[in-house]
Amino acid sequence: MILRCTKKLLAVVGSALVEPAPAPDDEDWYANLLWFDRRKCLLLTHVGTLFTIFEANLTAAGLRSPGQLVTGLIDRELHREGLPPATFGDLEQQEVLLAKTADRSVLGCMNDMAFLCEHTIGQQGGLSHADLADLNRWLRRNISSARGYCPPIELAAAKAAGAGLGWARARVIAQPCRTPPGKRS
């Protein structure tokens, strides 16, 4: 598994990057370090589906072993959503390799999600009062034009269901899920 980290996260993680950097792929994951209420938080996003995970109250030591942290978070959130553990492949068997970010559209979507996290956490009275499980569910139901206005949870479910069809075909079947605002079908 390729974990593409922002510069902010790489500064904390301090691990060596894969050289040469692998070509961007829909199966990559992106990770960004966010700060809320003076606490380190991680925003993790799957490129192909924009399936996103927000995790709060992390330590620098915990971030320095990203493989175990990331695979554990993905497994936990797949379970919470009722999706098969192998939706994104056999994570336990995959080595997590760190690389620099490569897709600005994914970073743009993550910036939007970070803003949504900031707004929601602020509305709920801060990180200590925020319902993070609900926030995670909400992030995965937020639409984006980058993925044809399909909620990430629907794309992940199509990916899980389409494992026998091949991911590319399952993604085509799942899109478009929604008509963009202002357009009629």
* pLDDT tens readout for residues 63-102: 998 889 999 999 999 999 999 999 999 888 888 999 999 9
Q: Give the pLDDT of residue 163.
A: 58
* In the predicted structure, residue 178 carries a pLDDT above the cut 90: no
Whether 125 is covered by a domain: the verdict is yes
Please state, in angstroms and as integers, the Cα–Cα distance from residue 83 to each residue in 13, 80, 161, following that order. Answer: 29, 8, 9
Query: So what's the pLDDT on residue 93?
Result: 85
Residues of the chain with pLDDT > 90, as a percent, come to: 70
Split into its structural domains, the chain has a count of 1
Location of structure tokens 């009275």: 125
Q: Is 134 a domain residue?
A: yes
Residue 157: inside a domain: no
CA distances from 12 to 27, 60, 148 (A): 24, 6, 34
Q: Is residue 155 part of a domain?
A: no
Q: How confident is the model at residue 181 (pLDDT cuts 50, 70, 90)?
A: very low
Measure Cα distances from 29 to 6, 16, 70, 91 in Å. 11, 17, 9, 12
pTM of the model: 0.85
Burial 85-109 (b: 16+ CB within 10 A, else e): eebbeebeeeebbbbebbbeebbeb
**Domain extent for 134:** 2-145
Question: For 11-28, what is each residue's pLDDT tens digit?
Answer: 999 877 888 889 999 999
Three-state DSSP class for 166?
A: coil
pLDDT of residue 124: 95
Within a domain: residue 161?
no
- The pair of three-digit structure tokens given for residue 33, joined into one six-digit string: 């370090």
Number of CB atoms found within 10 A of residue 31's CB: 25
60 assigned to some structural domain: yes
User: What is the average per-residue pLDDT within 135-144?
Assistant: 94
Residue 158 lies in a domain: no
Q: Can you give the pLDDT at residue 145?
A: 87
State the pLDDT at residue 55: 98
- 61 found inside a domain: yes
Q: At what angle do helices 132-139 and 104-123 cross, to 10 degrees?
A: 140
